[in-house]
Amino acid sequence: MLHLENVMGELHAVTIRDGLAFPLNRVAWADGRPQDTESAGYAKKLLDQLSWWAGALRTAREAVPYPA
């Protein structure tokens, strides 16, 4: 997975370190929800970081356009 960070860097993309995975995606679900009780916390952390980066990058682009 770390090799993808190099690719993303070449594309000038910002990566988020924390991720969300469902390793037992075929058996770990009930009624459309993950049975792992920690999944909601992982999802919140990931989405909070994504939201922070989106806001920070929006503000930065408004202040100083990214040099292409």
Our CA angle for 33, 23, 19, nearest 5°, is 85
- Across-strand partners of 34? 29
Residue 26 confidence (pLDDT) = 66
Tokens found for residue 67: 């040099």
Q: How far apart are CA 34 and CA 24, in angstroms?
A: 10
pTM of the model: 0.66
> Is the distance from CB of 2 to CB of 28 less than 8 angstroms?
no
> Is the distance from CB of 39 to CB of 24 less than 8 angstroms?
no
Q: What is the chain's pLDDT, residue by residue, as a tens digit (68 residues)?
A: 668 878 888 888 888 877 777 676 666 788 878 887 778 888 888 899 999 999 999 999 999 988 87
Q: Where are the domains of the chain?
A: 2-63
Tokens found for residue 43: 């999802």
